[in-house]
Each structure stands twice: as structure tokens, then as C-alpha cells.
Amino acid sequence: MKNTALTDIHVKTGAKMVPFAGYNMPVQYAGINAEHETVRKAVGVFDVSHMGEFILKGENALDLIQRVTSNDAAKLYDGKVQYSCLPNENGGIVDDLLVYRIDEKTYMLVVNASNIEKDWDWISKYNTNGVDMKNISDRTSLLAIQGPKAAEALQSLTEVDLVSMEYYTFKKGTFAGVENVLISATGYTGAGGFEIYFENQYAEQIWDAIFKAGEPFGIKPIGLGARDTLRLEMGFCLYGNDIDDNTSPLEAGLGWVTKFNKEFTNAEALQAQKQAGVSRKLVGFEMIDRGIPRHDYVIVDADGNTIGKVTSGTQSPSLQKAIGMGYVDTAFAKEGTEIYISIRDNKIKAQIVKPPFYK
């Protein structure tokens, strides 16, 4: 099991630690519902240093990114971030990722923890024009500070004007006395906030400074449990649950990051799939009857015929109702359609709704 630079602090803080993507990670501190509410109403800090970071540099860096990702990275400018996918050769997804344009010849890719090695090998396979690739994952720490009070809680720590930062942009600057920190306004919670990337050696210094500055705003440490309920309320995909090597970006509702104005891995087959129409779709649903949908539960129609499968589900802390996502046959994907989740051999009624669940 790998540790992050902050593992000892999590243990001392009383976090419940679990294995996740090969790392020893905090799943909760005070409890998932309390932590969820902290992020929705105030500000919370996630240690997400298990995520992977690659630097791609050189004349052909953009060309390589264009060939391996589905979105159009040519639209990026310095300081802009883009959500994208790495399509595989059989219509599925190697991973979903963020692409940061640092300058015209330098990019940072942020990938999922469980896929670091897989993604590195995949991109390397297409690196036929000498792009300088560096995997900086093991030396990089990443904190996500999320919630409506994030900007005011952090502003005293940096000269970067946080309030004026647009969604999906980033800046480099001094943060908590540490130079060359990358501050990004992305987020996986729908509650607003920032990601802070820095070298491991500064982890405790930056962690302590954030909690001191954020104290008047009710800042709290948040575990992976609440990260999952927060992202699910927004209808954000989790790799390994909602998307994987066998799900096409078009089935997953990621057509908006699949741009056919350029050549990329499997573009031809995906374009044919777009023209023909997909046979199943990733949908959101709310439970009408009592019951909590879980990953891999079967979805059936009124007659009990299998029409799909649950990929993510939970009792939503903000909405006080059970919600989920799953793939269903396209005929059942329309908003308002009644479906049934098979829970312990009982048909539990649900209804297709359009994410985000939390508005």
C-alpha cells in the first residue's frame, strides 16, 4: 500500500483509513453525511494526492494529446483546463482525465489513481514523435478545497485572485509561502472550489496553513466517502463504476468531449456509432419506492425483463432520497420513464431523471 505525504496526519486526525487504488486513503473523519454537508454549505479539504500527473513537453506534445484524447485540445490556451477521455481501440475508455495547457509546448495530464500505469503505457505507445514525457505522480501532492466558502477561506494564503478565477482555468503562484504552486478551479463536487498541486515536501506546511486560514470558515477534512456522494449528486462519472474499458463515451453521455473534427484513437468507429445511434445509455434515476440502489444491481422493466445495470447509487445526503446512475436500453432512457431496480429479488420502482440530481 502506498501512502500520501499526509497519511500520518489523517491517522492522527482520527480518519478511518481504507485501501483505495493501491493507496492508504481516508474514507471518513466525522462521518460521510456530516462531511458532505460541510462541503455543500461551507468548505472542506480532500487529500487526493493519489491521482496521477504526467508532464508532456515538446514540439509535438499537442499532436500526441490530440491523437490519444477525444476532446479537441487545440482549443486550449495557457491557463485553461479541459475534461477529456482516452478512447481505446474497441470503443471503450482507457480513462477520463484533465488536460492542462501550461504553455504552447507543455501540458499536464491528470489521470485516475487506479489507471496511472495503464494510462502511461497507453500514451507512451502512441508517442512516436519524441515528446518528452515525465510521470510526476509520486512526487506531487494534490489537495481539493471544495465548497462555497473555499475562495474566502484560502485568499489570505495567495496573491492569486481566487474569486475572479473562471471554472476550468488555473494559475501558478505562491501559496502558503511555497512558490510555483498550481492553483486550479476545477472540482468534482459541484460545490465550487480549487485544487492545489505542489511537491510532497511542502504537504504538511500547506495542509496546516489551509486549516489555520480556514478555521473562521468552518473548514474540515473530508474523506473519499463524501467525495463519492457529492460527485454522484452532480451526475459526474467515476471511472471503474460508470465508465470503463467496455463503455463508449457516447453511451456514457460524453459526446460533448468527443470531437470528430480531428483524428484520434478509434474515432472512425465512434463516429459510426454516433450515426447509427447507441443501443444503451447512461442515465440518472431517483427511487420512488424505498430502497438504495447499489453498483451492479440489475435494472428491469415492469414485466421483470432485464434492461440494464446500476453503476453508482447512494442515499443522497442533500436530497434525502436514494439516487443512482446506470446503463439502460435506449428505449427506457427517456426522462420520466419508470424503471425497477432489482433489490433482493424485489422490483423497487424508480424514475429516470436528468442529472445533476442536486441543483
Strand partners, 222: 46
Please tell me the number of Cα atoms within 13 Å of 158 on its side-chain side.
27
Confidence (pLDDT) at 7? 98
Instruction: List own/partner pairs for 31-36 with CB under 8 A and 24 or more apart.
Output: 32/223, 32/225, 32/226, 32/229, 32/317, 33/226, 33/317, 35/220, 35/222, 35/223, 35/225, 35/226, 36/226, 36/229, 36/230, 36/317, 36/318
Helix (H, G, I), strand (E, B) or coil at 264: coil
Helix axes 224-234, 32-41, angle to 10 degrees: 60
Contact of 54 with 108, CB cutoff 8 Å: yes
Contact of 297 with 341, CB cutoff 8 Å: yes
Assign domain 6-49+138-233 to its CATH superfamily. Probable tRNA modification gtpase trme; domain 1 (3.30.1360.120)
CA distance 270 to 19: 35
Confidence (pLDDT) at 219? 98
DSSP one-letter string for 277-320? --SEEEEEEEESSS----TT-EEE-TT--EEEEEEEEEEETTTT
Confidence (pLDDT) at 215? 98
Confidence (pLDDT) at 196? 98
Residues that constitute the known binding site for substrate: 195
Q: Read off φ and ψ for residue 282, nearest 5 degrees.
A: -80, 125
Confidence (pLDDT) at 357? 98
All cell numbers assigned to 241: 463504476
CA 78, 82, 86, 87 dihedral sign is negative
CA distance 61 to 187: 25
Can you give the residue ranges of every domain in the chain? 6-49+138-233, 279-358
Confidence (pLDDT) at 88? 98
Show pLDDT as tens, one digit a residue, over the chain (359 residues): 999 999 999 999 999 999 999 999 999 999 999 999 999 999 999 999 999 999 999 999 999 999 999 999 999 999 999 999 999 999 999 999 999 999 999 999 999 999 999 999 999 999 999 999 999 999 999 999 999 999 999 999 999 999 999 999 999 999 999 999 999 999 999 999 999 999 999 999 999 999 999 999 999 999 999 999 999 999 999 999 999 999 999 999 999 999 999 999 999 999 999 999 999 999 999 999 999 999 999 999 999 999 999 999 999 999 999 999 999 999 999 999 999 999 999 999 999 999 999 99
All cell numbers assigned to 277: 445511434
Q: How many beta carbons lie within 10 A of that of residue 308, not counting itself? A: 23
Domain 279-358, CATH class in plain words: mainly beta
Rg (CA), the chain: 21
Confidence (pLDDT) at 311? 98
Confidence (pLDDT) at 70? 98
Residues that constitute the known binding site: 195
All cell numbers assigned to 342: 432489482
Confidence (pLDDT) at 13? 95
CA distance 183 to 195: 6
All cell numbers assigned to 158: 495567495
What's the helix, strand, coil split of the chain in %, to 5?
Answer: 25, 35, 35
Residue 13 burial by Cβ neighbours in a 10 Å radius (0-12, 13-18, 19+): middle
C-alpha 87: how far from its chain's center?
17
Please tell me the number of Cα atoms within 13 Å of 237 on its side-chain side.
24
Confidence (pLDDT) at 117? 98
Amino acid at 134: K
